Amino acid sequence: MSSENTEPIPVPPPATDVPASTIEPTPAATTAAVVSELEPTPAASAPEPTPASVAEATAKSEEPTPAEPSVVAVEDKKEDDEPQNELTKKFTEDEWKAVKELRTQLPSIFEKACPDTKPVPSSITIWGVELSTTPSAKASVILVKFLRARTLAVSDAADMLAATLKWRAEMDIDAIMQEKFDQDLFGRLGKVYGKDKDGRPIAWNLYGEVKDMKAVFGDTQKFIRWRVQFMEQSIEFLDFETIDQMVQIHDYEGVSMTSRDAAQKAAAKEATTVFQNYYPEFLSRKFFINVPTLLTWVFWLFKPLISAATLAKMAVVGTGAKTIGAELSLVIDVKELPKRYGGEADDF
């Protein structure tokens, strides 16, 4: 199970999400016939031809000459019948095989996700992408997210996708996207601002902006609806053609870890569960900045329990614009980074 999404404590449990590697196809080997000509032997030294030799030579000359092999381009197996975009071109052969198999299971997945809907829908849209048994490059990008989160185990990925679709229907994501939240409480808590060096959007979670912790976290379900809305808004910046992940930055400036009450812990726990189970493989990198010293020690304590793949996505950064800027500028151009974080861009 992927644990790249954690809210809002920067001490994630072990994860199994493993970035996919790109395997370049090996072109088919081709051969070419090489024909060499022999220099004629001087007539003076040539023996007189006999009738038998003449007949043999005549017979050989009448034999059909084998055609030279032609060079035929062999199409890549993973592209032979699949719509492609820049993201799908990076799929491995194993990923393509799993995607095709998972796609064939979509009718049964939809049936599990919509047990009370008759007839069962032939397609369902998620994150603006239509899923159906008809091949689509964007749909393949969505399907591979669930597969990577389950190490290409098609059955497990199918269960995860069915659970996600069912959860979205029960939560009524469309209604959540229309919900209005108190701007005094949530207005500055989350922002999508800037892009990393590869064009991925940056989602900022500004916990230090929370002025009334009880008002924000006291109603756990309200906080979860807001947090889901913010995640969905962040995903709207992804085109699933060239970009399908984001960078998340969690700023803990001014946050006291010792003052966390039961409501905050409950909200954090449920948010972590939601993003682990229903938003697979959306994070490229995750930074925790302005982290209290105590929490930094806790992170290092749990470091041996975190998978190398997940650990590579995460970084706990200290305080101060210079320190933060030095770390974030490795991924984000200073022109995209606000000045208070050591960059050159205007503030939020």
Binning pLDDT at 50, 70 and 90, where does residue 53 land? very low
Report the C-alpha gap between 170 and 209 in whole angstroms: 31
Helix axes 154-171, 137-149, angle to 10 degrees: 110
Omega before 280 cis (within 30°)? no
Q: Classify 303 as helix, strand or coil.
A: helix
Binning pLDDT at 50, 70 and 90, where does residue 264 land? confident
pLDDT: is 312 or 96 the higher one?
Answer: 96
Q: Is the dihedral of CA 14, 103, 123, 126 positive or negative?
A: positive
Give pTM, 2 decimals.
Answer: 0.77
Per-residue pLDDT tens for 133-151?
999 999 999 999 999 999 9
Residue among 250, 244, 239 at smallest CA distance from 203: 250
Q: Please give the pLDDT value at position 305.
A: 62
pLDDT: is 51 or 174 the higher one?
Answer: 174
pLDDT: is 292 or 250 the higher one?
Answer: 250
Domains and CATH numbers, the chain: 80-171 (1.10.8), 176-341 (3.40.525.10)
Indicate the length of the chain as a whole number: 348
Percent of the chain whose predicted confidence (pLDDT) is above 90 = 61
Per-residue pLDDT tens for 178-198?
999 999 999 989 999 999 999
Q: Which amino acid is at 15?
A: A
Q: How many CB atoms lie within 10 A of CB 27?
A: 9
Instruction: List Cβ neighbours of 116 (8 Å cut-off, separation of 6 or more).
Output: none
* 8 A C-beta contact, residue 201 and residue 244: no
pLDDT at 33 over 60: no
pLDDT: is 259 or 93 the higher one?
Answer: 93
The average pLDDT across 2-27 equals 43
pLDDT at 286 over 60: yes
Binning pLDDT at 50, 70 and 90, where does residue 340 land? very high
Residue 334 DSSP symbol: G
Structural tokens at position 146: 């669930």
Buried b (16+ CB within 10 A) or exposed e, 316-326: bbeeeeeebbe
Residue among 148, 152, 143, 56 at smallest CA distance from 103: 143
Q: Classify 339 as helix, strand or coil.
A: helix
Task: Return the bridge partners of 201, or none.
Answer: 195
Q: Please give the pLDDT value at position 213.
A: 86
Mean pLDDT is highest, among 66-75, 251-260, 298-307, for 251-260
Q: Please give the pLDDT value at position 28.
A: 39
Instruction: List Cβ neighbours of 263 (8 Å cut-off, separation of 6 or more).
Output: 214, 217, 218, 220
Question: How distant is the alpha carbon of residue 177 from its chain centre?
Answer: 23
Give the mean pLDDT of the chain: 82
